[in-house]
Structure 1
Amino acid sequence: MGDGRVRFAGQVPLARRTLLERPGRFAGAVVAVALAVTLMGLITGLWGGFVAQSNTYVDNTGGSLYIVSPGAQRLTSDARIPRSAVETARETPGVRWAFPARSFFAILDMHDQKVAVTVVGYEPDGRGGPWDLAEGRTPVADDEAVVDEVLAAQHGLETGDRIDVAGAGVRVVGVSRGSFSSMTAFVFLPHSATDAMLRDPASTTFVIVGTDVPESVAPLLREQGLAVVDGDEVNATETRFATRAFGRPLGLMALLAFTTGVLVVGLTSYGAVREQHRLMGVVAALGGGRARLYRFAIAHVAATTLAGAACGAVLFLVARTAVSWWRPQFPVVLTGREIGLLVAATVVMALLAGVFPVHGVGRTDPAEAFRDTT
């Protein structure tokens, strides 16, 4: 006691006291944080889903390189290259296989609705077609097609049904899984069927090239006048196109959710600090010190944030399940990186929210304990 300060035999649980005194306010703050965490999780997951969908075709074709039309920015474009590029690629040293693929957008009339799809023409014995069949088989004849399972479920399509694609009637012989890209479903047809639809059998949209040494093969193909890109380049371009329309709105929504969480936690904790100003004045007058008061403010923020984050995690799982059931074309995908970002955002939320109550603690006057409150 030589420093003149009172030593406390025990610690007064100030944070717990203020939380339990006003359980309604604490519960409201926890709910607000949970909603903020849930919204940030859904937005981040939707973003991850858009990216995964935009890359789904390239990730499942097994191609190392893609021969495209010069200047073409995407595989799904109206650009065309000569079909002879396939043989050129196959004759290039280091190439194990090469197959043509044609892609274009089409509008289907489905139960009085206009539905946009991505039509993919491929060689039935090659690459570029459906990679995971949920039911049925792959198409062989020109009047046969495989449709994505989301498209099939939304419009009640079953194997054996007939649909009109680009003016040609085709029969559904299979349903593919995981073939929904960004905002459109894939419809797979034999390449020869798309040749007839576009009346252009001498062209294709791109060539998928398989090789174990893409860094050596790409220059050789370019020397023959072919435009070549690798899978990473294609995915990066597809991601930019897929997220361009949604990036800013989703980012703004995430920022609003984050800001809401900061303000709710911060102002709730600040209010608790101000309500307990006399009690805190007593603690300060008895020599409790600023450090103890700061611990109270930080504990209040931490308790609110942790409880809200835990509830938010549970609510996110429920919301993700609901979104997957209601709109299966919008997957909510969280990788380890996205989860790390969410955890970091929650920590930053708590740190920023702590500014409010810490500011209130800093203004605590020991004289508050002796002022007449009447």
Structure 2
Amino acid sequence: MSEGKLRTGRFALALAGTFGLVYGLCVLWDYTFPERAVRQVWQDLFPGFAWTLEGVLLGLGESLLYGLGIGLIFGALYNFAPSQGVSIARKNLLAEKTRLAISVGGVAFAVLLILVLQGLYQGWDRRMGVYIEQTPADIWVAQEGADDMFHSMSLLPANLQERSEKIDGVAEVHPLHSRRYAFNIEGEEALTVILGYHAEEGVGGPLEMVEGESIPGPGEIIIDRAFANKYDLHLGDILTMEDKDLRIVGISEGTDFLLYQYSFVAETEAQALFQMGDFVNYFLIRLEDAGEVDIVTDLIEAEFAGVQAFSREEFADTSRQLLEEYFIPVLAVLFAIGFAIGVAVIGLTTYTATIEKSREYGILKAIGAKNSDLYRILFEQGMIVGLLGFGVGAALSLVVNQAAAKVVPEFLTSIEPLDMSWVLGASLLMSLLASYIPMRRLAGIDPALVFKS
């Protein structure tokens, strides 16, 4: 084996090792920080930092598996391929630039589709629980059976607040009113969820203010920026609810959830608007010692019939489960479609190129090249197309995500390094699978017939 080939092999294995290391770190991060809010540890000196044995083992194991897999692919294609295979593969691709562009475009389209969908899933997944996670409450109390804030209804007696305050370990109890409502804005229904909270205390209010007042008063409302952008609303505009005018005094962000956004009014305003009498929807409890969450939730459920107490993390996770239940099956189908499109485009273009260059492959066979040598040429072509397609598709996905987010406020997207890693692996796998399509044709080439023709 030549020195140049050895250097190429070492480079390929080093690249694979680097990929595996980066992937492993991403996996470790993902498994070690199950609470999504803790991902912002840089802002508050790593609170809640906790390495788990499960996270370490899963991260290292997955890192080793993927690193080894990519290393074997690169090693097989570069370290053991004959030197003429590399040059022939590149010449074949560059000889037909239009065909190369079509192949790269097929992979790029598949990568674009997969990354956009994955980015949407990640963005929605983060946003689904962010309001619960960032609200300063250790325990959420709801009616039994109301597992989330999106599709279940919770009604609790208002006197539960005073009774809850007497439980050992409870520091504060705050009521939260919730009502889904569709404002009529120039003949169009504008759906939002109005939350009524104790404005002076701030528990249950907006997460982050963009402009205007942070505390709504009588006859006032704070709306989410996505809601404002979607319906062209501004500070001072009037929204009417049940013959009651609400003036927009603030615009917040961080409470945009798929089909609707959160709006905020004062607790007294919510009581008058919702006409719920002696009922509220949720109670938000702050503890004297946050480490006693499990103890206090058990006490609450034992003390009061028909209620369910959740830790902040549990309540956020139940909201995210809705996304996994309804979105993941659709996502899997679209992923499969994108993958199949990529394989089909590369396979067809490679097959066509193989037919056109049958004479050249026949000459290689005549001078002693084995079928395995020719297969390596196809694999090399597939790898080049896969890498180029991934680069183009990844770049396009970033542009498309940014542009779509500006046009459609509900388009929440987030692409993490881990996503890029597995999509890179998928694009390489896509290219390698497509390389098998013309193999039978390649194996059937008879060098004698080539020379006769």
TM-score, length of structure 2 as denominator length? 0.75
* More off after superposition, 176-185 vs 45-54: 45-54
2:216·2:249 contact (CA, 8 Å) conserved in 1? no
Q: Are 1:287 and 2:368 matched, yes or no?
A: yes
Q: Are 1:99 and 2:174 matched, yes or no?
A: yes
* More off after superposition, 221-230 vs 186-195: 221-230
Equivalent residues in 2 for 1:8-27, closer than 5 Å: 13-27=87-101
Could you tell me how far apart the structure 1 residues matched to 2:134 and 2:85 are?
Answer: 60
Could you tell me how far apart the structure 2 residues matched to 1:62 and 1:212 are?
Answer: 14
Query: Residues 230 and 350 of structure 1: is their aligned pair in 2 closer, same or farther, counting only changes over 3 Å?
Result: farther
Query: Residues 361 and 90 of structure 1: is their aligned pair in 2 closer, same or farther, counting only changes over 3 Å?
Result: farther
1:58 to 99, 119, 132: 132
Shift of 1:47: 1.8
The answer to which structure has the higher helix fraction is 2
Partner of residue 202, structure 2: 126
1:231 to 312, 322, 346: 312
User: What is the number of residues matched between the two proteins?
Assistant: 365
Could you tell me how far apart the structure 1 residues matched to 2:83 and 2:215 are?
Answer: 81
Partner of residue 308, structure 1: 389
Could you tell me how far apart the structure 2 residues matched to 1:368 and 1:351 are?
Answer: 29
Equivalent residues in 2 for 1:41-120, closer than 5 Å: 41-76=115-150, 77-120=152-195
Q: Helix, strand or coil for the counterpart of 1:49?
A: helix
Could you tell me how far apart the structure 2 residues matched to 1:98 and 1:340 are?
Answer: 45
Partner of residue 5, structure 1: none
Query: Residues 165 and 367 of structure 1: is their aligned pair in 2 closer, same or farther, counting only changes over 3 Å?
Result: farther
The residue type paired with residue 97 of structure 1 is E
Partner of residue 268, structure 1: 349
CA RMSD of aligned residues (A): 2.2
1:75·1:206 contact (CA, 8 Å) conserved in 2? no
1:172 to 244, 248, 252: 248
Partner of residue 223, structure 2: 147
The residue type paired with residue 276 of structure 1 is K
1:302·1:350 contact (CA, 8 Å) conserved in 2? yes
Query: Residues 98 and 364 of structure 1: is their aligned pair in 2 closer, same or farther, counting only changes over 3 Å?
Result: farther
Could you tell me how far apart the structure 1 residues matched to 2:242 and 2:264 are?
Answer: 13
Partner of residue 4, structure 2: none
Shift of 1:10: 5.9
The percentage of aligned residue pairs carrying the same residue is 25
Could you tell me how far apart the structure 1 residues matched to 2:154 and 2:301 are?
Answer: 18
Could you tell me how far apart the structure 1 residues matched to 2:241 and 2:416 are?
Answer: 36
Could you tell me how far apart the structure 2 residues matched to 1:9 and 1:181 are?
Answer: 55
* More off after superposition, 323-332 vs 237-246: 237-246
Shift of 1:362: 3.2
The residue type paired with residue 92 of structure 1 is I
Partner of residue 3, structure 1: none
Post-superposition Cα deviations, 1:192-242, rounded to whole Å, max 9, x if no partner, equal: 211111222422111122333212221111111241123343233323434
Give unpaired runs (5+ residues) of structure 1: 1-7
2:179·2:274 contact (CA, 8 Å) conserved in 1? no
Q: Are 1:209 and 2:282 matched, yes or no?
A: no
Could you tell me how far apart the structure 1 residues matched to 2:121 and 2:83 are?
Answer: 53
Partner of residue 4, structure 1: none
Shift of 1:14: 1.6
Partner of residue 439, structure 2: 358
Could you tell me how far apart the structure 1 residues matched to 2:226 and 2:216 are?
Answer: 22
Query: Residues 127 and 275 of structure 1: is their aligned pair in 2 closer, same or farther, counting only changes over 3 Å?
Result: same
Q: Using CA pairs below 8 Å that are at least 6 residues apart, which structure has the higher relative contact order?
A: 1
Could you tell me how far apart the structure 1 residues matched to 2:430 and 2:136 are?
Answer: 42
Q: Helix, strand or coil for the counterpart of 1:172?
A: strand
* More off after superposition, 196-205 vs 112-121: 196-205
Q: Helix, strand or coil for the counterpart of 1:91?
A: coil
Give unpaired runs (5+ residues) of structure 2: 1-81
Query: Residues 107 and 127 of structure 1: is their aligned pair in 2 closer, same or farther, counting only changes over 3 Å?
Result: same
Shift of 1:59: 2.3
Q: Helix, strand or coil for the counterpart of 2:320?
A: helix
Could you tell me how far apart the structure 2 residues matched to 1:44 and 1:35 are?
Answer: 14
